[in-house]
Structure 1
């Protein structure tokens, strides 16, 4: 049997390069905190809310801990969110099937859940809150697609240009109610420029546009579609959302939206596209927003329930990764719980 070597007999004089020891900066919690490069603060978050008609609230099975809110319940939840230091809210409308039609006309209803919520939260909290609103037709069309349909020799397709006026009508309804930013998520070509002109011509020059500039056709949207009741009734959204195989195209999409007048740019989803965030960051001086989407949230929740990981640490690490990749702001369903529980 071979004789084991004595480690002491192998001790050598430390080579010169061991004078350089990065571990010196990790030796204690206070020191690690003082040299940390990336931080998470409440004002880094935009909290998403699903708004429905009525006054109560109802749980969303696919998103544990997330609710659909009627108006009064939303105002209470918004107040709690503001107390945590999160001052930015992103509002999504949830419509009953009977309110939907092929043209998505309910999207511009001034009495719809989102416009009503904008007016009431503005009345309650004034300019303490920054209100972003999702502008898309999927929750308002009976077919569940993000634009209007047209018959072609190749079958039903999305009519890009005919969709733009309805999207503009929706954005104007939100602006009239008091939104700070409209956030077009439909991925129609030219919609940022179209909305910018419509807002300016109506006198809403101060209302900004947060563009879903880089939105991939992702498997991670499933729980959201249950939450917003917005799943397409046929086909998929691959003809207008981006192909996950493409990165250079993301830079082009972002550059086009910036040229059309976007004030902020978004990458969605976040975790599977951290490389896109990192590549986009040096291309633009606009604020970058990353959407930590429903499937990413649900994945961590399921793993935590199964005892596979420490939820607090996993959430913190996930959110730090998004910030480290280049995001200035993060839309995340984790925001309120993570802050309330002291995870970040």
Structure 2
């Protein structure tokens, strides 16, 4: 298939959750042999109108990531000329969505809107207009789907597609040393690592070890908090780690704790649970992490530090695993199939197959 992605800003411009999601989808399709084109602001040197990198072709349709830089006129024409089988546009920046919708009408091809949820809920009237004309809206979780429904958009067009993980990659990495609790996230103001530390402090008289993966502006403050709570000697701060290093930690750990207040999809937690960890989630209204443990025998949902501490103790009675086939539905191959089935269904609905 020939798929055209529209995103003025890519991970080459700025590292955000939305841009990482776009890159992942493009790579899934590319690895399966599909023809992937990204219409964006240039991130390469020189004045070439297009650039191929790692099997993906990038097309310059604006001078910058500012959606006001001529994209309203250039994008529809560029998409019509490209004649893709499907047009897949991200919702950020909002100014690119309406031109993509016009391009889809000119090209007579289905339009998929990818809204990851880390940029607000349709604050721009043109994005809302285009969202109502998209053939499908892809979101990463039921939490984000609920946000969209609350804006008055039809739930019939919303498709929940989680971020993928790689089960083969998990199986290829040897488990690391045993640790009782692991936490992984950028250590910024939204990490809420203090909830985990307060829960662990309640278990000070018990024998446990913990590992924190990730770095950020609040790392020093969290290290100081661990010292103040007199648990610093039992916590290892690993900083940034490669994917293989993270998998090794997860496969050696018993519990993965998710306490962040905002999370549209708990990607690291999904990797950890598939690596055999028991999942413990502190519930927050703006986090979808609880969706991953609902109905799960090896999952706990808590609402306070005391409940979190109790869950860690209770999890100790569960068998240690270093792999869990339960999460096969999140594997790259399964997520790829969901995208392809969706694309072909849309084509069939429009009589294009």
Q: When you count helix as a share of all residues, which structure comes out higher?
A: 1
Q: Considering Cα pairs closer than 8 Å and 6+ residues apart, tell me whether 1 or 2 has the greater RCO.
A: 1
TM-score, L = length of structure 1: 0.34
Larger radius of gyration: 1
